[in-house]
């Protein structure tokens, strides 16, 4: 159970990193406000 949770955290961190790297973040935030 622990390794699975750790993997999830790693995935989220990677996702956040990639989002911060690409300018897609603006479109993403705009999409969030729409929903």
Q: What is the pTM of this model?
A: 0.40
> Measured between alpha carbons, how far is 35 from 21 in angstroms, rounded to an integer?
23
- Taking residue 1's Cβ as centre, other Cβ atoms within 10 Å add up to 5
What pLDDT shows up at residue 10? 86
Q: How confident is the prediction along the chain (35 residues), in pLDDT tens digits per residue?
A: 677 777 788 888 888 887 766 665 566 666 666 55
Query: What is residue 6's three-state secondary structure?
Result: helix
Q: Is the dihedral of CA 20, 22, 27, 32 positive or negative?
A: negative
């Amino acid at each position: 159970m622990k390794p699975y949770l750790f993997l999830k955290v790693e995935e989220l961190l990677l996702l956040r990193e990639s989002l911060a790297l690409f300018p897609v973040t603006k479109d993403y935030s705009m999409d969030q406000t729409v929903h």
